[in-house]
Amino acid sequence: MASILNNRIRGKNIVITGASGGLGEQLAYLCAKNGANLFLLARNKRKLDKIVATVHQQYAVKCTAFALDVSQGEQVKQVFLKIMKQAGTIDVLVNNAGFGIFAEAKNTDSADVEAMFSVNAVGLITCTQQVIPSMSKQQYGHIINIASQAGKIATPKSSVYAATKHAVLGYTNALRMEMSQVGVYVTAVNPGPIRTGFFQTADPGGSYLENVGRLLLEPEKVAEKIVRVMLSNKREINLPRWMNSIATLHTMMPSIVERLGKKAFFKK
């Protein structure tokens, strides 16, 4: 794991949703290594407790876990009240919880549509609303929303997932302007596919991983990029660069990109 990356977060209180594995877990370890106190949130408390034990064994920081389903609004409010009571302040919120299901629009189940929006978009917004008042009052803090390159360029078989991430980017871009008035930073993280458990749900058949496995980002490397910018005024993190270049080109010449990339886009 990388050496110390960011002294700004030493002694700060960081909340991470979706922290029971993958990118969230790696963020937890790296934030702890950089001296931050952690509040880890996810549905699976057993996995969280193992991460907390590892953090306490390796680093001299505070680390607390709460079971949380971000799609449950009242539960979100109660958990954040507990965090504020314990910590007094939240310095960084990382909205990492999310999932996707790859299917053509005609085959997408309505329950899956509702679930993806409830977690990826509504859950993210609900968590963010819990920290806006305190961060605004203290005129300090950082909200980091894990979006996706799918929020910039939609591809076949991910229509609903892409829609949720477009929603996240829209919300993040508006929030950034609002919070800039009170000195709070807002960052969107737009990674391509990451080598995590995400694909156990999104691609149970394994065809997408088989096609793009060599292009997957490593969660440790993505975590490093995020931790480096915590408590700094960074608008976006886009990974990998080549994929973001395609998304940027798509905004200027969508028809050409969709025509030339059609074969690749269908490799899910």
Segment 169-196, tens digit of pLDDT: 999 999 999 999 999 999 999 999 898 7
Mean pLDDT of the region 153-179: 96
Per the annotation, the verdict on 161 as an active-site residue is yes
Mean pLDDT of the region 9-32: 98
Structural domains of the chain, count? 1
- Is 36 inside any structural domain? yes
- Is 165 inside any structural domain? yes
Residue 28 pLDDT exceeds 70: yes
pLDDT at 213: 58
- Is 2 inside any structural domain? no
Mean pLDDT of the region 90-96: 98
Residue 219 pLDDT exceeds 90: yes
Q: CATH code at 142?
A: 3.40.50.720
Q: Which position has the higher pLDDT, 252 or 85?
A: 85
**Cβ-contact 86, 64 below 8 angstroms:** yes
Query: What rounded mean pLDDT belongs to the chain?
Result: 91
- Is 167 inside any structural domain? yes
Tens of pLDDT along 122-134?
999 999 999 999 9
Task: Give the distance, in angstroms, between the CA of residue 42 and the centroid of all CA atoms in the same chain.
Answer: 12
Mean pLDDT of the region 257-261: 71
pLDDT at 202: 56
pLDDT at 268: 58
Contacts by 178-182, CB closer than 8 A, 24 or more apart: 179/132, 179/135, 179/136, 179/143, 182/135, 182/136, 182/139
Candidates 29, 161, 171, 185; catalytic one: 161
**Cβ-contact 18, 44 below 8 angstroms:** no
- Is 1 inside any structural domain? no
267 pLDDT tier (thresholds 50, 70, 90): low
Residue labelled with tokens 């929020």: 151
Domain that holds residue 62: 7-265
- Is 211 inside any structural domain? yes
Residue 212 pLDDT exceeds 70: no
